[in-house]
Amino acid sequence: MSSENFLKEVQAIGEKFLHKLQKLPKAEPVEIISFSVVLLFIVTVLVLMIIACSCCCYSCCGCDGHPDPRHRKSQVSPAA
């Protein structure tokens, strides 16, 4: 997929989302609730991804951005 097609797809999705938001004040309560649930789900997934990535980066690199030597993986050889 070329970047031009990708940008068109993103723009189309954004326009659909904007259109849905504009119709929301006139929508039925069921539509408002379902839209809110979907939006809450998307926000929750994004927040959990940010938390997971930040925890992974923190445990790997530490606060200063340099790898922490205590967290290196060491190979264990079998006992003879």
Residue 1 domain-assigned? yes
pLDDT: is 7 or 80 the higher one?
Answer: 7
| C-beta separation of 71 from 59 below 8 A | yes
Residue 41 domain-assigned? yes
Q: Looking at residue 71, what is its pLDDT?
A: 56
Which of 10-14, 42-46, 69-73 shows the lowest mean pLDDT across its residues?
69-73
Residue 47 domain-assigned? yes
Q: What is the pLDDT of residues 38-65, one digit of tens each?
A: 989 999 999 999 988 887 776 666 555 5
Q: Looking at residue 69, what is its pLDDT?
A: 58
Looking at this protein, which amino acid is placed at residue 17? F
* pTM for the full predicted model: 0.54
* Residue carrying the six token digits 């839209």: 35
**Is 28 a residue whose pLDDT tops 70?**
yes
- Report the domain count for the chain: 1
* Residue carrying the six token digits 């997971």: 52
* Domain around 35: 1-60
